[in-house]
Amino acid sequence: MRILELTQETKDNILENLLKRSPNSYGEFEGRVAAIIDEVRSKRDAAIFQYTKQFDGAEIDASNILVTEEEIQEAYEKVDPVLLDVIRKALVNIKEYHEKQRQYSWFDSKDNGIILGQKVTPLARVGVYVPGGKAVYPSSVLMNVLPAKVAGVDEIIMTTPPGKDGKVFPSTLVAAKEAGVDKIYKVGGAQAIAALAFGTESIPKVDKIVGPGNIYVALAKKAVFGHVSIDSIAGPSEILVLADESADARFVAADLLSQAEHDEMASAILITTSKELANQVSVEVERFVAQLSRAEIIQKSLDNYGYILVAETLDEAIATANDIASEHLEIVMKDPFSVMTKIRNAGAIFLGTYSCEPLGDYFAGPNHVLPTNGTAKFFSALSVDDFIKKSSIISYTREALEPIYKDIVQFAECEQLTAHANSIRVRFEEQYLR
């Protein structure tokens, strides 16, 4: 990996380079995505079946688009029992973590007749998109479905692209069943997002769409936002490691590569105050790349978006980490908890030598659906909050309104909203007639 001295110029160049990976930078795909969405919106099922044949090579129609219980049972027979046990263990951890995020309705009543509050209501129907194609992500199923289940969503619809045989990956089906998905449809890509957003003869319209996908899925989610809610427009994976001389170079190198293997646009960055560690990590990265199965993808990722930055001071390193606002941030230092208190921007923070990023991806419990491309400055991890909505509750008696009604009338008239003022005044018009 390239080793650079951390300067303002270096930081500015890296930030500019990282932003090139944002889905917002791929406008040339937007026309194709818009055409797919329009086609699905007008032709509905017919468009879905056509695109599934075109992009996935599968013959899907109204009779087989919905995954059956028989297919799910067949999937259980194909999944390694050891993997099933791991899925169930991870499910417990993820569910328990998200149960702590639950919010409840509340009401505050006062002696003067005022009741104020907030009513928390789960969303009625949510769509979960799960990638397919060459990869299989049962962990993504758990992370997207379980917060919705904990929130109390009435119906969870899942879409995922089938293979050429018209089947869905067994581990994906098993994870969906274990997590509590209600219906699974065999459709992927931008066409699946359009179907969830607008509904077809087979697929019901949802209130919100969550889940990762390729650039077409990301841009489709962006395009349908407003017709439905979405979680975020996810970009490529990222990891940033803050480390000092106490870090194990081999561990740090392994952690950087755990994200670089996702795709050629993934980002892996080490910021350290130790030149010696920087050199050691660079050597260990080369050794690992020579051994790992996805070496070609990893190398392209590192060539394009991989950096080892040597900072003069810890404060400078922390400030740069906050500017980058990485999806995953590992703090591998003598006192990681102290450094953590100075971090403002990160999707997930991993503290200490043995809290490596894959722990969060699969098993610990916190959600692995995280903000990317610097959006950790204002977005959070997927949570139970994403699957609820809040309604304000206001109740005043006449006795509670009377002392302040003239204040409201004055406010409304200041804004020249006379009907607003009248709505208040009419309740006390006998006082104006005296």
CA distance 53 to 81: 33
Q: How far, in Å, CA of 55 to CA of 58, rounded?
A: 8
Q: How far is CA 327 from the centre of its chain?
A: 10
Measured CA to CA, the distance from residue 357 to residue 373 in angstroms comes to 17
By C-alpha distance, which of 382, 377, 294, 357 is closest to 97? 382
238 is catalytic: no
In DSSP terms, 116 is beta-bridged to 108, 394
Residue from 98, 262, 328, 368 carrying the catalytic annotation: 328
327 is catalytic: yes
Q: In this structure, is the dihedral angle defined by the CA atoms of residues 284, 254, 335 and 6, taken in order, positive or negative?
A: positive
Contact 138, 175 (CB under 8 A): yes
Indicate the helix (H) or strand (E) that contains 387: none
15, 305 Cβ separation under 8 angstroms: no
Instruction: Look up tokens 């919106």; give the residue.
Output: 41
Catalytic member of 178, 284, 327, 330: 327
Q: Side by side, which strands form the sheet with 155-160?
A: 183-186, 155-160, 125-129, 208-210, 229-230
**Cβ atoms within 10 Å of 427's Cβ, excluding its own:** 13
Alpha helices in 110-247 (DSSP H): 138-151, 170-179, 189-198, 215-224
Whole-number Å distance between alpha carbons of 21 and 7: 22
Q: Give the residue numbers annotated as catalytic, written as ranges.
A: 327-328
